[in-house]
Structure 1
Amino acid sequence: MEDFWGLLHDGGITSIAGKIPGTVSIEVSIRYLRQQFPGEGTGFKVVLSYCDQLVYQEYDSSPVEDFDEIVRLEPEILGVEEGTHPVVINCVMGSLKVSYGAVSIYLDSGDAVSVDELAAASKAYWDAWAASIPQR
């Protein structure tokens, strides 16, 4: 259930809304991956159901739970630590810890996207990127 976070590599968290405990939506700006899908847009909305924890902590800083403050710190996703609970999403300057029961992913235009579709789009992008590098 947490694997998809790694597919959002290089994505910046631009908005967090909702309440804990409850449903929380996170907007992630990641233009290169979004362009693999039809329509205009720059990112995805990740909706976490039954969310009971969302805490961001920059290295050598205090944990932050306020959504607006987290967004102000501009976390950029690097990847996810597998098998952790809560889920630990590694970011450029720290880590985001989240605990939730279910997840839904949407294009920023509103259309639902499955994890498989997200994985296929990521693979297509990175395969094309690798093919564009001159071979020695």
Structure 2
Amino acid sequence: MRIEECEDISDIFSIFHDGGIVAAYHQDESFVLEIEIQYLSQRVNPEYNGFKVSLYGFSNAVFTTWPKDSKSNPKKITNVKSIFKSELEILQANLDDNKIEVLCELLSSEYDYYGGKLSFTVNSAEVQDDSGKVYSIEELGVLCKSYWDEWAANNK
């Protein structure tokens, strides 16, 4: 069950807010992001750690850095291995001119930037949990909403 609307694909990354992209690699005809997000995955199964997002037609990836030194200019990184060399924490996502834009914080202190904007184009996506179950955007939305509703109720 592939998710094909660009807006829905962008929503995947907003749903995975605070999740960490811990691995990225090519697999068959897709580019796979492993996202560690225990607060959502453990709602499915207490032993799960995250989800795999398979991106089909993934291209034009650019990571525009947020320099630590305010006098430095942002860098544009286009090498996919360099972009995902360290874990990126997902902050939020949006869609701009059919490009997915994901704002990320860099969890490593060894770089001269603290995060940036990851943008890319994609044709479709598929999201799986640790068991291989595939999720629709609606199912992901329900999972996310139930978590945040419970969180709000517990933090009144």
Going from structure 1 to structure 2, the CA distance change for 1:71 and 1:82 (only over 3 Å counts) comes to: closer
Separation in structure 2 between the aligned mates of residue 50 and residue 94 of structure 1, nearest angstrom = 22
Alignment partner of 1:8 is 2:16: yes
When structure 1 is superposed on structure 2, of 53-62 and 39-48 the one drifting more is 53-62
Q: Which residue of structure 2 lines up, in the alignment, with residue 118 of structure 1?
A: 140
Alignment counterpart, residue 40 of structure 1, candidates 42, 47, 50: 47
Question: Letter of the aligned partner of 2:85 in structure 1?
Answer: R
In structure 2, list runs of 5 or more residues that go unmatched.
Answer: 1-7, 68-73, 106-114
**Cα root mean square deviation, aligned:** 1.9
TM-score (norm 2): 0.76
For residues 60-118 of structure 1, give each alpha carbon's deviation from its aligned partner in whole angstroms, at most 9, with x where no partner exists: 34222333332333211111124443211111221111211011111133211111111
Separation in structure 1 between the aligned mates of residue 96 and residue 82 of structure 2, nearest angstrom = 27
Question: Letter of the aligned partner of 1:7 in structure 2?
Answer: I
Going from structure 1 to structure 2, the CA distance change for 1:131 and 1:39 (only over 3 Å counts) comes to: closer
Q: CA deviation at 1:38?
A: 3.2
Question: Letter of the aligned partner of 1:133 in structure 2?
Answer: N
- SS in structure 2 at match of 1:122: helix
Going from structure 1 to structure 2, the CA distance change for 1:68 and 1:119 (only over 3 Å counts) comes to: same
Count, aligned residues = 132
In structure 1, list runs of 5 or more residues that go unmatched.
Answer: none
Alignment counterpart, residue 105 of structure 1, candidates 124, 127, 132: 127
Going from structure 1 to structure 2, the CA distance change for 1:57 and 1:5 (only over 3 Å counts) comes to: same
Question: Letter of the aligned partner of 2:60 in structure 1?
Answer: Q
Q: Which residue of structure 1 lines up, in the alignment, with residue 94 of structure 2?
A: 81
TM-score (norm 1): 0.86
